[in-house]
Chain A
Amino acid sequence: MRVLRVEIATQLGALSLEVALEVQAGSCLALAGPSGAGKTSVLRVVAGLVRPDWGLVSCREEVWLDTARWIDMAPEQRRCGYLFQEYALFPHLSARQNVAYPLRALARGERHRRALELLDRFGVAHLADVRPRTLSGGERQRVALARALARRPDAILLDEPLSALDARTRASASREITAVLRETGVPALLVTHDFSEAALLGNRIGVIDDGRVIQQGTAAELAASPASAFIADFTGAVVLTGNARPGQDGLTHVSLDGGGVVTSTQPGDGRVAVSVYPWEIIIEPNGRPHPGSAQNHLEVEITSVTAVGNRIRVGLAAPQPFTAEISDHAAHQLDLAPGTRAVATWKAAATRLLSR
Chain B
Amino acid sequence: MRRTRWFPFLLVASLTAVLCFLTLPVVAIFVDTGPLDLLSSLGEEGALEALRLSLFCSAVAVAVIVLFGTPAAYLLATRRFRGRAMLVTLIELPLVLPPAVAGIGLLAALGPNGVLGGIVEDAGIQLVLTTAGVILALTFVAAPFFLRQAQSAFEALDRTWLDASRTLGASEARTFAAVAIPTAGPGLVSGLALAWGRALGEFGATLMFAGSFRGITQTAPLAIYERFSTDFTGALALSAVLVAVSAALLLSVKLLSGQAWVGGGAGAAR
Q: How many Å from the CB of B182 to the closest CB on chain A?
A: 5
B83 within 8 A of A: no
Partner of A75, one of B161, B167, B264: B167
Determine whether A322 belongs to the interface, using a CB cutoff of 8 Å to chain B.
no
In contact, A82 and B164 (Cβ under 8 angstroms): yes
Closest to B262 in A: A131
- For residue B180, give the distance in angstroms from its CB to the closest CB of chain A: 10
Decide if A133 is an interface residue (CB 8 Å cutoff).
yes
Q: Which residue of B is nearest A49, CB measured?
A: B163
Residues of A within 8 A of B166 (CB): 47-49, 74-76
Q: Which of B163, B169, B264 touches A91 (beta carbons < 8 Å)?
A: B264
Is A84 among interface residues, defined by CB-CB distance under 8 A?
Answer: yes
- Cβ B167 vs Cβ A86 within 8 A: no
**Chain B residue contacts of A88, Cβ below 8 A:** 158, 160-161, 163-164
Q: Which residues of B contact A148 (CB under 8 A)?
A: 167-168
Q: Is the CB of A91 within 8 A of B267?
A: yes
* Shortest Cβ distance from A157 into B: residue: B167
Q: Contacting A76 at CB < 8 Å: which of B169, B178, B185?
A: B169
Q: How far is the CB of A85 from chain B (nearest CB, A)?
A: 8
Flag whether B257 is at the interface (Cβ < 8 A): no
Query: How far, in angstroms, from A114 to B266 measured CA to CA in the complex?
Result: 28
Q: Are B169 and A151 in contact (CB under 8 A)?
A: yes
User: Nearest chain-A residue to B183 (Cβ)?
Assistant: A92
CB-defined contacts of A137 to chain B, threshold 8 Å: none
A44, closest chain B residue (CB): B163
Residues of chain B within 8 A of A84, CB atoms compared: 160, 163-164
Q: Which residues from chain A contact B265 at a C-beta distance below 8 Å? A: 91
Q: Which residues of chain A have C-beta atoms less than 8 A from B266's C-beta? A: 91, 133
Chain A residues 306 to 327 lying within 8 A of chain B, measured CB to CB, are none
Q: A74 to B163: give the CA distance in the assembly, Å.
A: 12
CB within 8 Å of B: which A71-90 residues: 74-76, 78, 80-82, 84-86, 88-90
Residue A347 at the B interface, CB < 8 A? Answer: no
* B179 at the A interface (CB under 8 A): yes
- Structural contact, B267 and A80, CB atoms closer than 8 A: no
**B160 proximity list for chain A (CB < 8 A):** 84-86, 88
Which residues on A sit within 8 Å (CB–CB) of B179?
Answer: 90
Q: Does B56 contact A (CB under 8 A)?
A: no
- The docked-state distance in angstroms from the alpha carbon of A147 to that of B161 is 13
Contact of B170 among A44, A101, A134 (CB under 8 A): A101
- What is the CB-to-nearest-CB distance from A102 to chain B, in angstroms, rounded to a whole number? 4
Give B263's nearest chain A residue, CB to CB.
Answer: A131
- A102 in contact with B261 (CB, 8 Å): no
Inter-chain contact B183/A90, CB cutoff 8 Å: yes
**B171 contacts chain A at the CB level, 8 A cutoff:** yes
B165 within 8 A of A: yes
In the complex the two chains form, is B168's CB within 8 Å of A151's CB?
yes
Chain A interface residue bracket vs B: 20 to 34
- Contact A104 B169, beta carbon cutoff 8 Å: yes
Give complex CA distance A344, B165 in Å: 55
CB distance from B75 to the nearest CB of A (A): 18
How far is A148 from B160 in the complex, measured between Cα atoms in Å?
14
Q: Which residue among B164, B170, B265 has the maximum number of chain A CB atoms within 10 Å of its CB?
A: B164
On chain B, the residues within 8 Å of A49 by CB distance are 163, 166-167
Which residues 235-252 of B sit at the A interface, judged by CB distance below 8 A? none
Among the interface residues A44, A75, A80, A81, which one has the most CB atoms of the partner chain B within 10 A?
A75
Which of A85, A92, A134, A147 meets B264, CB within 8 Å?
A92
A88 and B164 alpha carbons, distance in the complex (Å) = 7
B169 and A133 within 8 A (CB): no
Residues on the B chain within 8 Å of A89, using CB: 164
Contact B263 A82 (CB under 8 A): no
Q: How far is the CA of A151 from the CA of B170 in the complex (A)?
A: 12
Q: Which of B43-97 contact A (CB under 8 A)?
A: none
- A82: chain B residues at CB < 8 Å are 163-164, 167
Contact B167 A80 (CB under 8 A): yes
Most chain A CB within a 10 A radius of its CB, from B160, B165, B169, B171: B169
How many angstroms from the CA of A86 to the CA of B266 in the assembled complex? 15
B163 → chain A, closest Cβ, in Å?
5
Contact A101 B183 (CB under 8 A): no
Docked Cα-Cα span, A148 to B163, in Å, equals 12
Within the complex, what minimum Cβ distance (angstroms) separates A154 from chain B?
A: 12
Q: How far is the CA of A101 from the CA of B166 in the complex (A)?
A: 11
A102 cross-chain contacts in B, Cβ below 8 A: 168-170
| Chain A positions within 8 Å of B261 at CB level | 92
Known: A76-B171, A91-B267, A151-B169; 11 extra A-B contacts, CB below 8 A, are A49-B163, A74-B171, A84-B160, A90-B161, A90-B165, A90-B183, A92-B185, A101-B170, A102-B168, A148-B167, A151-B168
Closest 9 CB pairs of A and B: A92-B264, A75-B166, A102-B168, A88-B164, A88-B160, A82-B167, A92-B182, A131-B263, A76-B169
Q: Can you spell out 25 A-B residue pairs with CB atoms less than 8 angstroms apart?
A: A44-B163, A47-B166, A49-B167, A74-B166, A74-B171, A76-B168, A76-B170, A78-B167, A85-B160, A86-B160, A88-B161, A90-B161, A90-B165, A90-B183, A91-B161, A91-B183, A91-B263, A92-B183, A92-B261, A101-B168, A102-B170, A104-B169, A133-B263, A134-B263, A151-B169
